[in-house]
Amino acid sequence: MARKTQRYTVEGSNSLWQLYRTVSFFKVMKCFIVIQVGRFMPSLRVKNFLYRTFLGMTLGKQTSLALMVMPDTMFPERITVGDNSVIGFNTTILAHEYLIEEYRLGDVIIGKNVMVGANSTILPGVTIGDGAIVSAMTLVHRDVPAGCLAGGNPMQIIYTKEQMEERRKNDAFFKS
């Protein structure tokens, strides 16, 4: 399934060269400063406050963005993370793509009780369903169904929700 992005064509030089025609320089500066403070912020409460208040991100209760997580610096308001989700160390969440002849914008929706492993990259227009697990170093280039385990580059579904439930039922690790 294709990612859910809006496409905007540009003429002349590449779209990144025309960046400030698509987003305000001052907005990018504000976002950059807030995100850099947040990336090193040891308090999750303060980090979430900064991101909600100054960037317009939608973050659920007890959402944890680990050290060095990099939200989109141009359109962070297009990122939603549900309650009790963990976004691992150094993960990048993008809501934009600047290409040669066009740029694309897309909402990133991360559900409740989601675990995204360290060093992953989430591309614009992706939805990660409730209870999903994304392994470390994954390029999330398409939707991740609820309750499943996904990983790799390119990302693949490793276990569906039903397979994960069966594993939990039969695996001694989950019984202890």
Query: What is the average per-residue pLDDT within 38-64?
Result: 97
- CA-wise closest residue to 48 among 33, 60, 30: 60
Whether the CB-CB separation of 14 and 103 falls below 8 Å is answered with: no
Residue 141 counted as domain residue: yes
Residue 102 counted as domain residue: yes
Q: Which CATH number covers residue 18? A: 2.160.10.10
Number of structural domains (the chain) is: 1
Q: How many residues does the chain have?
A: 176
Q: Which domain holds residue 55?
A: 6-175
Residue 103 counted as domain residue: yes
Q: What is the DSSP letter of 12?
A: S
Residue 1 counted as domain residue: no
pLDDT at 109 over 70: yes
Which pLDDT belongs to residue 7? 95
Alpha-carbon distance 92 to 77, whole Å? 15
Burial (CB count <10 Å: 0-12, 13-18, 19+), residue 136: middle
User: Vertex 59, ends 58 and 64: CA angle to 5°?
Assistant: 155
Main-chain phi, psi angles of 5, to 5 degrees? -125, 155
pLDDT at 176 over 60: no
pLDDT at 173 over 80: no
Residue 38 counted as domain residue: yes
| Average pLDDT in the chain | 94
pTM over 0.85: yes
